[in-house]
Amino acid sequence: MFFPVVLFVTLLLAACQNVPMTGRSQLQLISPGQEMAMGLSAFQDILKKEKLSSDVAANELVNRVGRRIASATGRTDFQWEFKVIENDKQINAFCLPGGKVAVYTGLLPVAKDEAGLAAVIGHEVAHAIARHGGERLSQQLLVTGATLAVAASTHDPKKRDLYTGLLGAGAAVGFLLPYSRLHESEADRMGLIYMAKAGYDPHAAVHLWHRMAEAGRGKPTPPEFLSTHPANAARIQQIERWIPEAMQYYQASNTK
């Protein structure tokens, strides 16, 4: 029994990687290339089911802000795409591995302006850069004993939706799978820096979260974005504590 245990522990240690910026160690049982391939497949599946917005102004806005955030990440290996999904009831957005971003039209009035939208896209992109989807999928594979080949090739719609939800597009497939508080905090911090590097004032993130909370006030169920991204006073306070760090990048971006 000793050798199998040692081998298992060795494999787990080999699967540990570090998150950019924060340096946190995470479990990754799949490669970045495999994760991106699954992200692309999931994105294509979602776009077949959803109605894309034909609003020229909305598409130009999302692409303009998205491209600036993408440039700020420095990830030229990502095949960035930015889509606007026509659904005014969904106050939500997501970014799948490889830079596949979608923003629902219901989010745009709450985002209010470019800086507010940058806060959302920066946060969602941070989840992808930090490989939170791959980390959650790795944890699922570890628990179930499934292999990546099985996960990637399954024809079971429910399982495919589950894996897509784990990768970061839960609201799009009906699986509301909240990120952990650790992942949320990591995406908040990284997202602030990305929006700052892109030339957007990080203070806009605080105003955004207040508007998000207001959008859910008095409703029996909160907007999807709040369901998967709890916006509470403690979180806003945490973001406020990180703003000085992000402001250094914002000031640097304005001196270029």
Rg of the chain (C-alpha set): 18
Q: CA–CA distance from 77 to each of 36, 167, 188 (Å)?
A: 10, 18, 23
**Of 124, 184, 186, 224, catalytic:** 124
- Residue 176 identity (one-letter amino acid): L
Distance separating alpha carbons of residues 162 and 219, to the nearest angstrom: 27
Residue 65: partners with Cβ closer than 8 Å, 6 or more residues away:
114, 117, 118, 121, 198
Distance from C-alpha of 25 to C-alpha of 169, rounded to nearest angstrom: 23
Residue 124 appears among annotated catalytic residues: yes
Residues pairing with 103 in the sheet: 84, 93
Sign of the four-CA dihedral 157, 140, 221, 225: negative
Phi, psi of 131 (to 5 degrees): 60, 40
DSSP helix/strand/coil, 86: coil
Question: Using CA atoms, how far apart are residues 173 and 161, in angstroms rounded to an integer?
Answer: 6
Q: Please name which of 116, 235, 142 lies closest in space to residue 184, comparing C-alpha atoms.
A: 235
Phi, psi (degrees; rounded to nearest 5) at 85 = -100, 130
Which residue's structure tokens are 């930090």? 130
Q: Which residues are catalytic?
A: 124
